[in-house]
Structure 1
Amino acid sequence: MKVVAFERSKQGTGASRRLRNSGKTPGIVYGATAEPQLIELDHNALWHALKKEAFHSSILDLEVAGQSQRVLLRDVQYHPFRQLVLHVDFQRVDPNKKLHTKVPVHFMNQETNPAVKTGGAIISHVVTEVEIECLPGDLPEFVELDLAKIEAGQSLHAKDITLPKGVSLVAHIESENPVVAAAAVPAGAAAEAAAEGETPAA
């Protein structure tokens, strides 16, 4: 995914406010061995890009003054109530260094799960993204968790996620192995099922 930005020379609150008033968003690029670089981006293009899941979890080609660099989106500051992006941070990536980042979890086969279809179970997505480490070239846009066989009362954990080659959970996620999805039968449905199983008194 390509992002076009422009060099920004002025910093400070006043300069940033004037930028935003002219439809631009201030930002910064940092990391690797280069100096931090002040940039500005077209606000509307950035706003639409931020709505795409891949923009948050993919390596982006950021072009500034005709020079392209590979970056990850690291931080976005939004206005508390207006549809306005106040600032963005991008981090340069070194193709030979492992990076730690979060990627979305896509939940597969929930609609066909027997516990949901016939047992009245409800699957809750406890975690919607997971922290991984990999080389930039191996970074997936998302990872998948198969919900086909989860039964009522069961939960699936981080280690149940299918990870692509070259990708691993970061150490603390690996050791904690948090719950990612859980299947439960609501109390009302459980009572109804129990009532249906009762035989009427003679």
Structure 2
Amino acid sequence: MRILIADDHHLVRETIGAFIEAKMDVRVEKADNLSEACDIVERDGAFDLVLLDYDMPGMDGLNGLKRMISLNADRPVALLSGAASRRIAENALALGAAGFIPKTMNARSMVLAVRFMVEGEVFAPFDFLFGEAEETPWELTGREKDVLQGICNGWSNKEIARELAVHETTVKMHVRALTKKMNAKNRTHAAMLARENGFA
């Protein structure tokens, strides 16, 4: 598996690359601007995932994203950002980005997001896109919303428990509660309902 990380901040791209290489069987290539990233893809062929810093030289807003999506032969391309707005993230996803990853995301969550996108899914942090005050058609508690997002991310109960720093039995309890409130047959059905209603 091959992943390309393009970011003009040396420490950021090295740190993210190290996180991913430590947890996945993957070879990480790095670039410090869009032009270099495009040259690498043209030379070496499509990558399993390309992560682009939204603010690095050459990006020209979302035009750089569109250029890389075209170059990477329908393989996933996602945005990294430390300051992009919710609107930018939404526009990036609408253009075909495989995901949007805030640089503030912790290492474990970032690796899970990378795995999710490599498998062909779209990733965006629930709270970033919808905010804490976002309502759902169901009367879910804040913790139930957190668990629901984990389910939508494809995480197991154990992974959700680690992410939320709670016991796995607590997660199971929340899963039972939220599926009942959502009138969902199971966790997969709950994730489907969440996506249909624009909350994941």
What TM-score bracket applies, with the shorter chain setting the length? under 0.3
TM-score by length of 2: 0.28
Greater relative contact order, per chain length (Cα 8 Å cut-off, separation 6+)? 1
TM-score by length of 1: 0.28
Which has the larger Rg?
A: 1
> Which is richer in helix?
2
